[in-house]
Amino acid sequence: MAELNVGRLVAPTDDPRVAEFMDNLDRINGLGKRMPGFVWMMEGSGEPGTGNTENSIGDDPQFVANLTVWQDAAALEKFVWGTVHKQFYDRRRDWFDILGEQHFVMWWVPAGHRPTLDEAMARLEHLRRNGPDDTAFGWAQLEQATMWRDKRCAPVAAE
C-alpha cells in the first residue's frame, strides 16, 4: 500500500519557525524505516536534516511531499498513530499551513512497485475529483483501520 501526504511549510526549511520539525525529520523517518511492514520511502538528497523536503511540488519549495510504501494498512497505521510520530502529527499546525483541499491519499500497489511523485500526485488529484474508490482512498475506506478514529487529533474549527 502506498501513501502520499503533502503539506506546505509555514516557512523555508532553514527558518527557525520550522526548525524543530526539520531537526526531527531524520529521527521520525528512521523510525518509520525500522517499523515492521515498512517497504520503501521516497528519499531526498540524503543530506542530514533534510528528510525528503527537497521533493517539493511545483515551483514552491515550501510545498513538500512524503511518499511511502507499506506491506499493509495495519503497518502504516501503527507507525502513524502508535509511535512518537503521533506527537508530531498533533503539532502539524505549528509547522504547516492548513490546506483547503485533500492532502493525503492511499492506494494499493503491486509488490515491488515504487511509485513516482507524479503517480502519487495523480492519485491525490483523482481522490480530490472523484472521491474515494479503489484507485485512491483515505483511512475511512479501510474497515480494518481503527487507530486513526481513536487516536487522531481532534478536528480544529478551521478545518
Instruction: Write the DSSP assignment of 15-60 as a string of letters.
Output: SGGGHHHHHHHHHHHHHHHHSTTEEEE------TT-TTTTSEETTE
Which position has the grid cell 500500500? 1
State how far the Cα of 153 lies from the Cα of 132, in Å rounded to an integer.
22
Is the distance from CB of 14 to CB of 54 less than 8 angstroms? no
Please state whether 123 falls in left (phi above 0), alpha (psi between -120 and 50) or beta. alpha
Give residue 70's identity as a one-letter amino acid code: W
Is the distance from CB of 104 to CB of 4 less than 8 angstroms? yes
Span 52-97, pLDDT tens digits = 555 667 788 888 889 999 999 999 999 998 999 999 888 999 999 9
Is the distance from CB of 64 to CB of 55 less than 8 angstroms? yes
Q: How far is CA 76 from CA 37, 39, 59, 68, 151, in A?
A: 7, 10, 29, 9, 14
C-alpha atoms less than 13 angstroms from C-alpha of 88 in its C-beta half-sphere:
20
Q: How far is CA 40 from CA 3, 62, 131, in A?
A: 11, 23, 26
Longest dimension (CA), the chain: 41
Q: How much is the pLDDT for 45?
A: 47
Q: How much is the pLDDT for 51?
A: 55
Q: Give the residue among 13, 4, 14, 24 at the shortest CA–CA distance from 91.
A: 24
Question: Taking the complete model, does pTM exceed 0.75, yes or no?
Answer: yes
Span 20-57, pLDDT tens digits = 999 998 899 999 999 999 999 998 645 555 555 556 67
